[in-house]
Amino acid sequence: MRLGVLGSGSGSNLQAILDAIDDGTLAAEVVLVLSDNPDAYILERARLRGIATAVIDCRGYRTRFPEEAQRETVTALQEAGAELVCLAGFMRLIKAPLLEAYPGRILNIHPSLLPAFPGLEAWRQALEAGAVETGCTVHFVDGGMDTGPAIVQARVPVKADDSAESLHARIQVEEHRLYPEAIRRVAAGMAAGGG
């Protein structure tokens, strides 16, 4: 399974995917890492492994993912031979050009038990809502914000003395186990000829 990974930040989930490939628990190859942020550490993690990288030029828009940039992203992914696209901390909404090029082939990881707490800083939302439990979800991406069908979820307790940082760290431990697991499941479905 040839993976393209898109991220805007530190890339710890990319690292977890690479580690799972290394220890033989995930039969996959990361063929391209793309970021909308030229300074994102996710690019450095990829370079350190000799994985091809590119920066997505979002034409100066802070949050939009312009159609032209999405078309360029599709071209880069296709040229690299990516079969499945993994969003790993990618901060822009995916729309038609990418969704149409990879129907049912784009995954995202989100730090809550969706549909609860979509959007930014979901761990902080959980804390502020007084939730006693939260978690993380890997889901198929559709045109909405954290709305596609869930593939797998993991539960994480919220502790009485949690800060936003301690809760996020506990969720990330689960994320790093969950993303490779979700990719395994989707790859098995694709190999069986399903979606």
Position 118 contacts ligand GRF (CB under 6 A): no
| CB-nearest residue to ligand GRF | 89
Position 109 contacts ligand GRF (CB under 6 A): yes
Minimum gap (Å) between residue 50 Cβ and ligand GRF = 20
**Options 2, 12, 121, 184; binder of ligand GRF; rule CB under 6 A:** 12
* Residue positions annotated with a catalytic role: 110
Of 29, 45, 36, the residue nearest 80 (C-alpha): 29
CA distance 115 to 38: 31
Position 148 contacts ligand GRF (CB under 6 A): no
Site for ligand GRF, residues 167 to 186, rule: CB under 6 A: 172, 175
Stretches 64-72, 105-113, 148-156, 181-189: which one binds ligand GRF (CB under 6 A)?
105-113
- Helix segments in the chain, DSSP class H: 12-22, 41-48, 67-80, 96-101, 122-128, 164-191
4 touches 80 (CB < 8 A): yes
Position 88 contacts ligand GRF (CB under 6 A): yes
Position 11 contacts ligand GRF (CB under 6 A): yes
Of 43, 46, 33, the residue nearest 9 (C-alpha): 43
Q: Could you tell me the two tokens for 33?
A: 């890492």
**Options 99, 110, 138, 178; binder of ligand GRF; rule CB under 6 A:** 110
CA distance 150 to 109: 10
Q: Please say which residue, 71 or 116, places its beta carbon nearer to ligand GRF.
A: 116
31 touches 3 (CB < 8 A): yes
Of 75, 91, 107, 85, the residue nearest 37 (C-alpha): 91
Would you give the binding string for ligand GRF spanning residues 38-77, x where CB under 6 A is met?
----------------------------------------
Residue 158 DSSP class: P
Stretches 25-33, 54-62, 103-111, 126-134: which one binds ligand GRF (CB under 6 A)?
103-111
- Which residues would be at the binding site for ligand GRF (CB under 6 A)? 7, 9-13, 88-89, 109-111, 136, 172, 175
